[in-house]
Structure 1
Amino acid sequence: MTLRAFLFAALFALPVEAQTDPSKAALDAVQMLEEASIALNNAENARDRVRALTETIQAYEAGLAAMREGLRRAATREAQLNAELRSREDEIAQLLGVLQTIETTAPSVLMLHPSGPLGTARAGMMLSEVTPGLNAHAQALAHDLQEVQTLRQLQQSAAETLTEGLTGVQSARTQLSTAIADRTDLPVRFVEDPVRTAILISSTETLDGFARGLTEIANGEIAATNADVSSRKGKIALPAQGILLHRAGETDAAGVKRPGMVLGTRPRAIVTSPTAATIRYRGPLLDLGNLVILEPQPGLLFVFSGLQEVYGNIGQVIPEGTPVGLMPGETPGIGAILSTSGDGTGTDRSETLYIEVRQDNSPVDPESWFRTGKDG
């Protein structure tokens, strides 16, 4: 095979031996979404449908997030490779021109050298030394071209995968709402008195005042509990997938300082109970929108506000990982996801979940209880 023929063969026929990071990330995301789809089918017959559907939604959310990141990295990598290839166009053209000249010259002429047999031998040795370098150059170039093709194919096929993923997560959310409404197996510590709840809401102007009066909304006694999560202090997972936007005491975009922290989430993200807890209140309150107040142990309250939908009944004792609501917003369509796939700044986390922790009727820093990766 001539040098020029070898170069063309390497450029267009070299198989990819291993996926690069961007393409592997996108392919891993596809697998995650496929596994979530299987989990959704299995959830139909699961004994604990609420837990199964919750895990399915979380799997879909993780898969869609991974797909966004994979596509973002793929687009960045493709642009980088295209720029590199364009910058090497002159070099490649010159190389091919030399090879073209060599190939069109008669073999008998190539074997001759003006200085005689010794010069011919030396030229042959030089060519034998140059050939491996040319081959390596062709191999590297072929790999880059193949990688561009792979990344482009991944992006072109992403629409179908995203369609299935978005349809699947929406179906799982709908089924979850039904499964929670049908649930009757949870213990109850007290029964809410709606009239007392309404009176408390109308008579308080702050979250602090409302939290202090929670014992007044029960119709009868509140059953005692020896629940204790103090051993997990500082290690409890956040209730939703997201990024920390504001810590306790920091001024937010509106110029307001709050004793809780603000978590940025994607639209329609699921919010779950980070521990087993009693639902002390759920519903609209003041200017906080829909919120859920959980009691993991006596004297300790977790407040999650900013939800669009809230799940469960006041007085129920729910297991760890139980969904307590969904964030507001509209799930972005395929076009929006693909068009923002180059944005790695987290601006797609457009919803905000406010998290406040109250201990013995006073707010404390949520990061003293939740694991936020503040050192990372």
Structure 2
Amino acid sequence: MRAAALILCLLAGPALAQAPGEAARAAARALEEASVQLDQADTARDRVKALTRTVEAYEDGLAALRDGLRDAAVRETELSRRLAAQEGEVAQLLGVLSSLGSSAAPEALLHPAGPVGSARAGMLLAAVTPGLAQEARALRSDLDEVAQLRALQESAAQTLREGLAGVQVARTELSQAVADRTDLPMRFTEDPVRTAILIAATETLEGFASGLSNIAQGEAPNALPPVDARRGSLPLPVRGQVLRAAGESDAAGVSRPGIVLATLPQAIVTTPTAATVRYSGPLLDYGLVTILEPQPDLLFVLAGLDESYAETGEILPEGAPVGLMGDAAADGASPSREGSGAGRTETLYIEVREGDAPVDPLEWFASDKG
């Protein structure tokens, strides 16, 4: 966890002031707490939970760092354009200040019209000098700010590289911890033959969802608490921005009843609430799919993952890792993979089904996670 301690110090430092700085400090606190949890983890399940929080804290901190870098770049561009527009005025200002010097000779202050002209010139000079000095101070302040912004960006870029290395280490450790975890409760075991038959006979997600109960063997009754009271307030499974709303057509004119979230590469996907894994694997043209059942007749479909941690039949606690998104270079025909801009190069498709009918996922999830 040496990398975690490093990014904690860097993200909490002065490089990120204003709003991104507060977000970075919150992420640093979360990272510190996750580090303590990891040190105290006695079981594989505890280790998975602590490493999941570590990855999430890294993602929040790196997002804040990127926001700070973007704000610094915008401010530097603004100042540079303003200075370029004032180039003529700046040249005249510097010329006047140079001609005055710090200690002008007495004869330089004499006026050809004699004492009266000198007095008038002195009065004019006394009126103009404060304005010149103010312009000089403003110019010096702008130039200093540009220099500070450039230094901040250079320092933050190095912090970003170190943070990316740290989060990658945490993801690798998380994958290993998930592989070592053997203490999750199983509600049922999957019948691979029935699953293969169902997939082969399925042409739509609706048809597959209707047949999910047929792939279970020895299924126990659902013992999870109902989530109806949390409708509209569940956290999104991944940190991202809504790219396409339910029913909105994509570039090809295809509309789906779910939403598409734009995420950063390799973002971690977690369970919004405790749920049974009804299915985990490739499906139709949706790519890698995980289907969660928080309660009877309610399914959360997550499509577009690059790596899955879930196993069909498992009961996952709230906040447990489901998998990871792909990276920026990933290719695929999944309908969830679309360009998103702003560095968010991966997309997750989320569909919610109540009974046999889809509903708008934003009826269940709060969409303020960025």
Deviation by residue 1:351-375 (Cα, 9 ceiling, x = unmatched): 221111010121111121112259x
Query: For residue 164 of structure 2, what is the amino acid of its counterpart?
Result: L
Which of the numbers 353, 364, 367 marks the counterpart of 1:369? Answer: 364
Q: Using a 3 Å threshold, how does the CA distance of structure 1 residues 275 and 57 change in structure 2: closer, same or farther?
A: same
Query: For residue 295 of structure 1, what is the amino acid of its counterpart?
Result: E
Q: Using a 3 Å threshold, how does the CA distance of structure 1 residues 158 and 22 change in structure 2: closer, same or farther?
A: closer
Deviation by residue 1:282-311 (Cα, 9 ceiling, x = unmatched): 111122111111111111110001111111
Structure 2 unaligned blocks of 5 or more: 1-13, 331-339
In 1, the alpha carbon distance for the partners of 2:368 and 2:26 equals 24
Choose 129-138 or 107-116, whichever is displaced more: 107-116
- Aligned match of 1:145: 143
Deviation by residue 1:231-273 (Cα, 9 ceiling, x = unmatched): 1111222111112122111111222121111111122111111
- Aligned match of 1:261: 259
Secondary structure of 1:348's match?
coil
Q: Using a 3 Å threshold, how does the CA distance of structure 1 residues 37 and 161 change in structure 2: closer, same or farther?
A: farther
Task: Measure how far apart 1:50 and its partner are.
Answer: 1.5
Task: Measure how far apart 1:209 and its partner are.
Answer: 1.4
In 2, the alpha carbon distance for the partners of 1:192 and 1:154 equals 53
Task: Measure how far apart 1:122 and its partner are.
Answer: 5.1
Give the alignment of 1:175-254 within 5 angstroms: 175-225=173-223, 227-254=225-252
Give the alignment of 1:1-376 within 5 angstroms: 42=36, 44-47=38-41, 48-103=46-101, 107-110=105-108, 112-113=110-111, 120-121=118-119, 123-225=121-223, 227-330=225-328, 346-372=341-367
Preserved CA contact (<8 Å) 1:29 1:64: no
In 1, the alpha carbon distance for the partners of 2:329 and 2:141 equals 37
Preserved CA contact (<8 Å) 1:264 1:350: yes
Secondary structure of 2:53's match?
helix
CA RMSD of aligned residues (A): 3.0
Q: Using a 3 Å threshold, how does the CA distance of structure 1 residues 294 and 354 change in structure 2: closer, same or farther?
A: same
Query: For residue 91 of structure 2, what is the amino acid of its counterpart?
Result: A
- Aligned match of 2:11: none
Choose 277-286 or 183-192, whichever is displaced more: 183-192
Identity score, percent: 56
In 1, the alpha carbon distance for the partners of 2:202 and 2:284 equals 9
Preserved CA contact (<8 Å) 2:21 2:64: no
In 2, the alpha carbon distance for the partners of 1:352 and 1:298 equals 28
In 2, the alpha carbon distance for the partners of 1:62 and 1:113 equals 67
Choose 189-198 or 295-304, whichever is displaced more: 189-198
Deviation by residue 1:53-105 (Cα, 9 ceiling, x = unmatched): 11221222222223333223322322221222222222222222223333398
In 2, the alpha carbon distance for the partners of 1:312 and 1:63 equals 26
Structure 1 unaligned blocks of 5 or more: 1-19, 333-344
Query: For residue 83 of structure 1, what is the amino acid of its counterpart?
Result: R
Preserved CA contact (<8 Å) 1:57 1:172: yes
Q: Using a 3 Å threshold, how does the CA distance of structure 1 residues 91 and 296 change in structure 2: closer, same or farther?
A: same
Secondary structure of 2:302's match?
strand
In 1, the alpha carbon distance for the partners of 2:50 and 2:81 equals 46
Query: For residue 69 of structure 1, what is the amino acid of its counterpart?
Result: D
In the superposition, the TM-score normalised over structure 2's length comes to 0.82
Secondary structure of 1:181's match?
helix
Task: Measure how far apart 1:188 and its partner are.
Answer: 2.4
Secondary structure of 2:142's match?
helix
Query: For residue 130 of structure 1, what is the amino acid of its counterpart?
Result: V
Secondary structure of 1:151's match?
helix
Preserved CA contact (<8 Å) 2:35 2:54: no
In 2, the alpha carbon distance for the partners of 1:144 and 1:310 equals 50
In 1, the alpha carbon distance for the partners of 2:328 and 2:102 equals 64
Query: For residue 168 of structure 1, what is the amino acid of its counterpart?
Result: G
Deviation by residue 1:304-351 (Cα, 9 ceiling, x = unmatched): 01111111222222121111011122479xxxxxxxxxxxx8342222
Preserved CA contact (<8 Å) 2:274 2:317: yes
Preserved CA contact (<8 Å) 2:15 2:152: no
In 1, the alpha carbon distance for the partners of 2:214 and 2:145 equals 65
In 1, the alpha carbon distance for the partners of 2:21 and 2:363 equals 38
In 2, the alpha carbon distance for the partners of 1:312 and 1:173 equals 15
In 2, the alpha carbon distance for the partners of 1:255 and 1:177 equals 37
Secondary structure of 2:365's match?
coil
